[in-house]
Amino acid sequence: MFRMKLLFIKRIFITGILSGGLFCAVTAFAGVKAQSGCLPHTVVQAETDVAELRKQLAHWDKRYHTQGVSEVSDETYDQMRARLVTLEQCYGQQTPVRLPSSVRYTMKHPVVHSGVRKAASDNEVEQWLRHRKNVRIQPKVDGVAVSLVYSHGKLTHMISRGDGHHGLDWTEKARHIPAIPQGITTELTDVILQGEIFLRRDGHVQSRDGGKNLRSVTAGLLMRQANDEQLRELDVFIWAWPGGATDMQYYLNTLTEWGFPLTAQYTKPVSGPESAAEQREAWYRQPMPFAGDGVVLKQMPPQDTSRWQTGHNHWSLAWKYPVQTAVTEVRHVQFPVGRTGRITVLLSVEPVIIDGKTIKRVAMGSLAVWMKQRIHPGDLIVVGLQGHGIPKVREVIRKTETPPELYVPGKEDFHRTSCLTYTPRCRQQYLARLVWLGKQLGMNGTGVRSWGKLADHYTFSGLLDWMLLDEEQLKAALGKVRGVNFYRQGNAARQKPFSVWLNALGVPGKSPLPADWSLFRQESRLKTERNHYAQALEAEGVVASLQLQGVDGFTGTNPDSHN
């Protein structure tokens, strides 16, 4: 079975060609929504988001088209463009993307640059290959699409893809790129080649290095007025010879003889879905001389180039690599408080898939980290995976213009000795203390839900109020099975040694502990932090409760000396 034989986790991509890219149609593929369909927006919210996205993209486009500068990664730009198209399609607000007024595509392509449809799933690849023969696979090089026009063997024009019909005249740039032959040996009057100009990076591993924004760097070199010395680092991968040879081996040999060896090196036959998957995985993992965002499966295109169109063609299919980052919208911002009073920040986001993993929540770490960016619901952020697959915020792409008010807890309200008793404001830290206490005392099956039910059912006040409940009361709040288990676990906890109880209560410090509370209080006076914590435990009635329950070490006996 195809799905069982794939060498990598199944990836899902959004299909579609987006209009308006300078060099190639922007692909809506990355950061795929975990649930299909339109984004959960009201009409008013959608109108606002569309306006903000258009404004942001227009700014990036102007910088990109007029100065060759990209302020965001290629992957992020593609996803933002895809997001806009999705909103426009869902809410009927589609408008063409317009180039900055200073950019005009004036040079006509001899043959139209056709678009490539993107596979939405592995299954679509399988279906596409099922009824096709003589299929080849090539890497989808991450660069800038161009036409190279040779007349009587001499290079006469290099034209950017533009809108597929017309592009920019980059012939002068081609003169400074050694990898582009200025002449070829042929008896043909005219030769038209289509391919990708890219920044050569030997040893590039896509699965490890990602795109590194090399497409934008390449575009910048070609867009600048001056001829940068780095143009010498550019190379070209030819992926089409419109109207050329129909015999594949002759086709590849001829391109090599003309000075385009990469085409033969990276064009492989595929016998079916399994071999295509194996080659795709190999190119994703092994060193290559270029960045690539996937592979293209293709048959020989029609010889009659008048049938070629800028939209999707029927003879090729792109199969993208998994994305490295994803653009997503923040839905909620929470500020969990831990047992020691440490405040962290947790973002709930619109679900996205990165490297086969569905991301719904992103931890930002400490409150101080959040304060630097102040991320709110409605903001668009870029999320990536770090070590062990942990999602992290890479950057904030767009701040919402109407951020909602957030309750942000202050450090002065939560600290090591706060919330030893229950109040609504203290709920998170109070329950976190109980969860820690239960875990350290070996009370299995007493998680935050059980503690929360007890605290709510009996309106707890002190940290150890649960020790006053009998078996029937526990069953009334937790149910028969959980109640009996909790009762037994609680009885066993009462027999734990003094040192275990001190750790369960969260007493700071790692130095050796004395045998009982009176000795501990004498020693703790020499340690300010411990002394302060011990005073808080006494003031909040925790020590008195343990004495009342007869817990060893709090009644004057030495549990560690009992054998």
DSSP 162: T
Tell me the two tokens of residue 448.
Answer: 């935050």
| pLDDT band at residue 18 under the 50/70/90 scheme | very low
DSSP output for 257-270: HHT-THHHHT-EEE
Half-sphere exposure of 53 (CA within 13 A, CB side): 29
| pLDDT band at residue 219 under the 50/70/90 scheme | confident
pLDDT score of 79 more than 50: yes
> What is the three-class DSSP state of 64?
helix
pLDDT score of 560 more than 50: no
How far apart CA 560 and CA 563 sit, in angstroms, is 8
How far apart CA 314 and CA 301 sit, in angstroms, is 9
List the alpha helices (DSSP H) in 403-527.
Answer: 427-440, 448-457, 471-478, 480-494, 498-504, 517-524
Residues 89, 96 contacting (CB under 8 angstroms):
no
**pLDDT at residue number 511:** 66
- pLDDT tens per residue across span 235-281: 999 999 999 999 999 999 999 999 999 999 999 999 999 999 999 99
Give φ, ψ of 17 to 5 degrees.
-105, 130
Q: In terms of Cα–Cα distance, which of 279, 241, 142, 130 is closest to 198?
A: 142
**pLDDT at residue number 302:** 85
Catalytic residue selected from 140, 173, 298, 496: 140
Pick from 223-227, 429-433, 554-558: least confident = 554-558
How far apart CA 376 and CA 117 sit, in angstroms, is 36
**pLDDT at residue number 95:** 57
pLDDT score of 17 more than 90: no
Q: Which residue has the higher pLDDT, 401 or 159?
A: 159
How far apart CA 453 and CA 388 sit, in angstroms, is 34
* Topology given in CATH for the domain delimited by 2-313: D-amino Acid Aminotransferase; Chain A, domain 1 (3.30.470)
pLDDT score of 379 more than 90: yes
CB atoms within 10 A of CB 396: 15
Give the sign of the dihedral formed by CA 446, CA 449, CA 452, CA 457: negative
Give φ, ψ of 387 to 5 degrees.
-45, 140
> What is the three-class DSSP state of 170?
coil
Number of residues that this document lists for the chain: 563
* Topology given in CATH for the domain delimited by 325-398: OB fold (Dihydrolipoamide Acetyltransferase, E2P) (2.40.50)
Q: In terms of Cα–Cα distance, which of 536, 549, 546 is closest to 420?
A: 536
Question: Is residue 320 among the annotated active site residues?
Answer: no
| pLDDT band at residue 27 under the 50/70/90 scheme | very low
DSSP 351: E
Pick from 93-107, 267-281, 444-458, 485-499: least confident = 93-107
Percent of the chain with pLDDT over 90: 59
3-class DSSP string for 191-232: EEEEEEEEECCCCECHHHHCCCCHHHHHHHHHHCCCCCHHHH
CB atoms within 10 A of CB 472: 9
How far apart CA 182 and CA 148 sit, in angstroms, is 10
Q: Which residue has the higher pLDDT, 65 or 182?
A: 182
Domain ranges of the chain: 2-313, 325-398, 424-561
| pLDDT band at residue 39 under the 50/70/90 scheme | low
Q: Which residue has the higher pLDDT, 97 or 18?
A: 97
H or E element: which one contains 90?
A: helix 74-91
pLDDT score of 103 more than 80: no
- pLDDT tens per residue across span 320-358: 998 888 999 999 999 999 999 999 999 999 998 887 789
- Quick one: angle between helices 448-457 and 427-440, nearest 10? 120
pLDDT score of 8 more than 60: no
State how far Cα 214 lies from the chain centre: 19
DSSP output for 281-314: HHHHHS-BSS-EEEEEEEPPPPS-GGG--SSEEE
Residues 234, 200 contacting (CB under 8 angstroms):
yes
pLDDT (average), residues 169-187: 96
| pLDDT band at residue 24 under the 50/70/90 scheme | very low
- pLDDT tens per residue across span 498-532: 999 999 999 887 767 788 898 888 876 767 888 89
pLDDT score of 493 more than 50: yes
Half-sphere exposure of 24 (CA within 13 A, CB side): 26
Distances from the Cα of 304 to the Cα of 6, 18, 149, 155, 312, angstroms: 36, 26, 18, 23, 16
Q: In terms of Cα–Cα distance, which of 300, 285, 258 is closest to 150?
A: 258
pLDDT (average), residues 531-557: 88
Percent of the chain with pLDDT over 70: 87
Distances from the Cα of 499 to the Cα of 1, 362, 505, 512, angstroms: 58, 36, 10, 9
H or E element: which one contains 363?
A: strand 357-366
Distances from the Cα of 175 to the Cα of 180, 195, 232, 258, 317, angstroms: 8, 17, 10, 16, 32
Tell me the two tokens of residue 189.
Answer: 């009057």
Distant-in-sequence contacts of 152-157, Cβ < 8 A, 24+ apart: 152/189, 153/183, 153/184, 153/185, 153/186, 153/191, 154/182, 154/183, 155/180, 155/181, 155/182, 155/183, 157/107
- The three-point CA angle 279-282-288 to 5° equals 115
